[in-house]
Structure 1
Amino acid sequence: MRFAPCARTAWHRHTLGRTLHVTSGLGLVASRDATVLVLRPGVTVHTPPGEWHWHGAAPGHFMARLALSESGGDPAPP
């Protein structure tokens, strides 16, 4: 999936977690505990099951990423 500069997902979570791998650009992933990680090409991050988070492109940058999900019941209901 490709994100335009400053575009991001809404806050969400996944029942079984999710792994993101950045293929190009510069992105961000944030969690509800205020942790914000910078995502560069080649970086892989995992959001644990049930963790509220968002991810998207950094200001002034596009970002493309692959998402790997376990099967079953995703995303988790609010």
Structure 2
Amino acid sequence: MSARVSPEPAKATESPRKLTANEIVRQLYDDLGAKRPGTRHIVDAPRQNGLPHSEGTARETRKRVEGQEPELKELSPA
């Protein structure tokens, strides 16, 4: 007796790529209508995505995002 083999290879289940803290925080600028998110916004967004979310982490993440796009520093606060 022989085993039946499917003619097509089995497909691996693809898990969605998890967003980085930088990507989440950068999206906040757009979500807030081109406003600069406050620390409370930046703490809350990663928390909702299961990432570290302290005020220190929020400040460091904002610093990285605004370092890549310095014009974001000039936006009005949300």
In which range does the TM-score fall when normalised by the shorter chain? under 0.3
Q: TM-score, normalised by structure 1?
A: 0.22
Higher strand share: 1
The structure with the largest alpha-carbon Rg is 2
Instruction: Give the alignment's TM-score, normalised by structure 2.
Output: 0.22
The structure richer in helix per residue is 2
